[in-house]
Amino acid sequence: MTDPALQLIHTPRSHFARKVRLLLDGLGIEAELIDAVNAADPDPARFGPNPLLKVPTLIDHGRPVFESDHIAMHLVRTRDPDDRFDVLTADVDVLNARAVLNGVMALEVELILGARSGLDTAQPRFAKMREAIERSLAWLESNASVFEGPVSYLGFHVLSMRDHVALYDLVPLDYPRLQACADGIARLPFTESSKPV
């Protein structure tokens, strides 16, 4: 279903934007994709109305919606009353897993942008970020039963995170239960078009 009123400001490699793109594709909703090109660029024009100068931002009939999970909730509330991918869940275990996955993705961005900015990412602050990523991935692996069941927005988090970590090769990815979840989502016919390269 084409929705000409929807625009998504993103970058093709953003794992936060990819979660939204997977949801849109899974729901069969087409949005105009606007590439911000470089998420590190300080030019506010790249980010549309988002005062945080981040992606993604959804523009729905001229109204901006910020932050990937808020965007997902907005899309479901306005276009998917059956909540086919369990975006609006209140399950604490699922929400904890989402929070940890979002944290891993945010830490990854800090490490990548720190290195791009010429900072010494061997400093203790960045070492703590790597440690937090590794501990979080181990926690997710040990709590991977939360990923079992039907395809869900939580699975979109896992695939987006896994492919981004693999792309930038920041930490080892030896987590078979997480890999199995990501592989299962990656086999869906609508996932390939948003894979970062």
CATH number at 14 reads: 3.40.30.10
Give pLDDT tens digits for 71-80.
999 999 999 9
Q: Specify the CATH number for the domain of residue 108.
A: 1.20.1050.10
Check: CB of residue 88 under 8 Å from CB of residue 42: no
The residue out of 21, 50, 85 marking a domain boundary is 85
pLDDT of residue 31: 97
Q: Are 156 and 185 in contact (CB under 8 A)?
A: yes
Whether residue 197 is contained in a domain is answered as no
Residues 96 and 186 in one domain: yes
Which among 50, 85, 120 is the end of a domain? 85
Same domain, 125 and 40: no
Among 159, 156, 184, residue whose Cα is nearest residue 173: 159
CB 111 within 8 A of CB 59: no
Same domain, residue pair 176 and 104? yes
Q: Which tens digits make up the pLDDT trace of 31-72?
A: 999 999 988 888 899 999 999 999 999 999 999 999 999 999
Q: Are 73 and 113 part of one and the same domain?
A: no
In a domain, 148, yes or no: yes
Domain span at 59 = 2-85
What are the tens digits of pLDDT across the range 172-186?
899 999 999 999 999
Number of domains in the chain: 2
Angle ∠(104,107,108) on CA atoms, nearest 5: 85
Co-location of 30 and 99 in the same domain: no
The answer on 188 and 96 residing in a single domain is yes
